[in-house]
A and B are shown apart, each in its own frame.
Chain A
Amino acid sequence: MADPRNVDIKDQPGFRTIAIICVGVLYVPILILMLFSFNTGSLVTHWEGVGLTWYGSALLNEEFHNAAKNTLIISTTATVVSTICATLAAIGMTRVKPWRGLPAAFMVINLPLMVPEIITAVATLSFFALIAGAFGLNFGIGNLILAHTVFCIPFAYMPIRARLEDMDLTLESAAADLYATPWHAFRRITLPLLVPGILSGAALAFIVSFDDFTITQLVAGPGQTTLPLYIWNQIRRPMTPEINAISTILLLVSILFVSVSFLIARRRAK
């Protein structure tokens, strides 16, 4: 029995029920989606038998391959570039003497997280339309990479900054005291200790870019279909469980990244 002096929320009446409902609402639809990816029939709502038919057809699907390729190119590039920018920004904002505009700069970097995505999407579209009209510039898939890089920065920024803020500044003083130049102190002390933050920032940026729909949908030109766009296009036609199979693959990739990010975070907490 629970210790009466120690109120445990788990023992409150109704707690279990509410918790189970919440978890159910979150995961049952996804489980059903995954379940139907193993359906041998051609309807997403009618179960006919267990099989990997649709995984086979998904893996042989040329359009899926192209979408996956586009997604990987865009997400990887956006992740690398945005993580570098975010790291520099975080160092620039935590390892300087506080100045007047610092809180404002912090807000400016984080504001995109709070702006409705559709607004960012429309703004990005207008921006590219404008430079295309004015200068005849179109970077092709580069447009998408640019857009993704930009909106990934605040996501990558947060864990990196948190890590830098947690770091004991005395360590950097100690390095300087032991004859390390600022560059050596950064290279040998700050950077190695920052790696977990950079990795979780990068994982977050990758996930956000990987499954972005709204901005991609508006900015993407012909032939620049990414996986989320591909799925969206598929469900407008008569749906087959192939889409479930593709979604499941995407989900597994996401879970993989989240797990990596989580494991890194846990290791650093030790």
Chain B
Amino acid sequence: MPDKPGRNAIEVVNVSKIFGSGEGQVAALDTVSVSIRENEFFTLLGPSGCGKTTLLRLIAGFDFPSAGEILLYGEDIAPLPPFKRPVNTVFQSYALFPHMTVADNIGFGLEMLGKPKDEIQARVAQMLKLVKMEALSNRRTSQISGGQQQRVALARALAPQPKVLLLDEPLSALDYKLRKEMQIELKRLQHETGITFIFVTHDQEEALTMSDRIAVMSAGKILQVGSPRDIYDRPAERFVADFIGETNFLKGTVVSKKSGVATVKLASDAIVAAGFPEDFDPSDAVTVVVRPEHADLIADASKGTVAGTLANVVYFGTDTHYHVKLDSGDNFIVRQQNSRSGAVTFEPGAKVGIVFEDDGARILRD
């Protein structure tokens, strides 16, 4: 499903959103275009202030774009008020109506759509079952826990069967364990309802584990759109590589290149092969990135692609991080899986070599 391009549920076309006016004006979104496919779990990922929530609010209708179009199945919905859009939102604060019961909250959207009473009742019962909240249907929303409120918020937004469900950092208020549980729950709900989910988060791990595709945003622009594996393994820009996971940056110079792979001479005079994005033509000075888990530490410094002195060893349980001070002056982190059979251990201060795995190095746009 994720890699088979289906119909587009949402198309954002050259959308800009400018807040304020004159000197103080800020572009929260700068000519952003993105297509979100039907039945997709699509994530907008970026640090706070990158414009991801603004984009979500434009799709929901709480704000209107300064320029551009937002198409829902081909129809421009940008000028419509929120109550005329077949799109529902799960809010970060849940925004449950405190003077209503759980069931009344869930039925509210259907009631506003003028559905008959028995249909509302049946649908509410179905939703309560879907989010496993049948027992609490008559409780006030103030009488249930945060995790339960989260489920009610989901049920309320799903009840009117929206064409697209928008989720604005819905898990950020939950503790770690509950968050993990809800991540699985959300995937299950998306699978069972077949509704397109647009999920906003600043948590890269959440984005990687849940999404079909991710759009990484920064400073009002979308930097890269792709599957979690694309984004992680083949980041197109320095920001993406830096924001998602840990990365080592090395300076180098392009010596030669052919079809997506360049030969780069690093500052240490070592020669490495590095892939680069299709729409990018690297030349001269470039930055090469290597993920910490795509490199290995070896005891013989002379056989390493690069070499340095081990500065620090940090034990994480499942793996160990080795912080190496390269001879060229850069810092480099190598991550190695810990195993029972006591792999070679290295002591701080030792001279070590580092080798890159095949395809471990990539060239980035700065």
Contacts and interface: CB of A to CB of B under 8 A. Distances in A.
A170 B84 CA distance: 18
Contacts of A16: none
Contact of B99 (A177, A182, A184, A193): A193
A176 B82 contact: yes
Contacts of A189: 97
B98 A177 contact: no
B82 A173 contact: yes
Nearest to B156: A178
A171 interface: yes
Contacts of A170: 91, 93, 95
B287 interface: no
A168 B93 contact: yes
B349 interface: no
Contacts of A179: 83-84, 109, 112-113, 160
B62 interface: yes
A184 B97 CA distance: 14
A177 B93 contact: no
Contacts of A173: 62, 82, 89, 91, 95
Contacts of A188: 108
Contacts of A223: none
Interface in A165-183: 168, 170-171, 173-182
Given A170-B91, A184-B112, A177 B97 contact: no
Interface string A48-79: 00000000000000000000000000000000
B91 A174 contact: yes
A168 B112 contact: no
Given A179-B109, A179-B160, A174 B95 contact: yes
B108 A175 contact: yes
A185 B88 CA distance: 15
Interface in B69-95: 81-84, 87-89, 91, 93, 95
Contact of B89 (A168, A177, A182, A192): A177
Given A173-B62, A189-B97, A193-B99, A178 B160 contact: yes
B97 A174 contact: yes
Contact of B83 (A171, A177, A192, A193): A177
A179 B161 CA distance: 12
B89 A174 contact: yes
Contacts of B109: 178-179
Interface string B228-254: 000000000000000000000000000
A188 B61 CA distance: 20
Interface string B85-128: 00111010101111100000000110011000000000000000
A201 B99 CA distance: 20
A182 B192 CA distance: 32
Given A170-B91, A184-B112, A176 B97 contact: no
Interface string B57-70: 00011100000000
A176 B84 CA distance: 9
Nearest to A176: B82
A171 B89 CA distance: 12
26 contacts: A168-B95, A170-B91, A173-B89, A173-B91, A174-B89, A174-B96, A174-B97, A175-B97, A176-B61, A176-B82, A176-B83, A177-B60, A177-B61, A177-B62, A177-B82, A177-B83, A177-B89, A177-B157, A178-B83, A178-B88, A178-B156, A180-B83, A180-B108, A180-B112, A185-B83, A193-B99
Question: Which 3 A-B residue pairs are closest in the complex by CB-CB distance?
Answer: A178-B109, A174-B95, A179-B112
Given A177-B82, A180-B83, 16 more contacts: A168-B93, A170-B93, A170-B95, A173-B89, A173-B95, A174-B89, A175-B97, A176-B62, A178-B157, A178-B160, A179-B83, A179-B84, A179-B109, A179-B112, A188-B108, A192-B99
Interface of A: 168, 170-171, 173-182, 184-185, 188-189, 192-193
